[in-house]
Homo-oligomer: A and B are copies of this chain.
Amino acid sequence: MNLPALSFDQLRHLAPRALRRHIATDQYQGHTSGLGQGRVQANIVILPGDWADEFLRFCTLNRQACPILDITRPGDPLFRHLGEHVDIRHDVPRYRVYRQGELTEQPQNIKHLWRDDLVAFAIGCSFSFEQPLLEAGIDLRHVKLGRNVAMYQTDIDTRPTERLQGKLVVSMRPLKAADAIRAIQITGRMPNVHGAPVHIGDPRLIGIHDLGAPDYGDAVPLADDELPVFWACGVTPQAVVQASRPPLCITHAPGCMLVSDLHNHSL
């Protein structure tokens, strides 16, 4: 194919399948925030055989951080439950390849890396619950400021498996009390996208000592009449997997998610 590159504004008008087809041509390698017409976007983790089995157990034990939306059969590059012809070999704008836990490559597709024993996991992402929050009239500061959400490593242990263990990573959104209460109710009804917050208020109680210095993403200011509200974050499984140094692990690059055909409200 030899399609012309599209502007970001043109990309915004593409339906999810058309967007994936454009991304598959390697002509777009940027972030997917605001793209895909409000459909579900997913974190991606790809692992070989026995690591995949263990990772599935880890996700099951840590569902709030790792809500699995779909999982491929070994060697099959298609997510069968995320939409029409969703091919994980090229439908993500940019990938990260880790070998023994070290970042070795950031390709635009992974056709050259695909193997018969690879299993791909699509994991729910907080983009999906931000839409219902915004629709409920709740302002999200990082959205307003055009920044990535602030993410922090906590001192909360995940439930370990043999080789996979680590601390919970959370995303933080500053909210006024009334909005925090509504946000808890709204996200509590979305267990496939991290569900209700894991903490609210004093960050030190979960091992976060400086809100101004997030471990991932961008810091946002907290007003005097706001509470920091913390949700389990889909970065958790990536961080845990990288720390355990499997021979091969492929993920999406930060912010460059897989755009599915699923509606956010279906979660």
Contacts and interface: CB of A to CB of B under 8 A. Distances in A.
Number of chain copies forming the complex = 2
B196 A177 contact: no
A196 B225 contact: no
A181 B205 CA distance: 15
Interface residues of A, number: 18
Given A185-B185, A185-B188, A188-B185, A200 B225 contact: no
Interface string A160-194: 00000000000000000110111011001000000
Contacts of A199: 177-178, 181
Nearest to A183: B184
Contact of A177 (B178, B185, B200, B225): B200
A165 B177 CA distance: 24
B181 A197 contact: yes
A174 to B, nearest CB: 12
Contacts of A198: 178, 181
B197 A225 contact: no
Contacts of A247: none
Contact of A181 (B177, B182, B200, B225): B200
A196 B200 contact: no
A134 to B, nearest CB: 20
Residue of A182, A184, A225 with highest tally of chain B CB at under 10 A: A184
Interface in A173-231: 177-178, 180-182, 184-185, 188, 196-202, 205, 225, 227
A198 B178 CA distance: 6
A205 B185 contact: no
Of listed A178, A181, A200, A201, residue having the most chain B CB within 10 A: A181
Contact of A205 (B177, B201, B205): B177
A200 B200 contact: yes
A175 to B, nearest CB: 10
Contacts of A181: 184, 188, 196-200
Contacts of A177: 199-202, 205
A180 B196 contact: no
A137 to B, nearest CB: 16
A12 B267 CA distance: 45
Given A184-B185, A188-B188, A200-B201, 11 more contacts: A177-B200, A177-B201, A177-B202, A177-B205, A178-B199, A180-B200, A181-B196, A181-B198, A185-B185, A200-B200, A201-B227
| In the complex, the 7 A-B pairs of residues with the closest C-beta atoms, listed nearest first | A185-B188, A184-B184, A177-B199, A177-B200, A201-B227, A177-B201, A181-B196
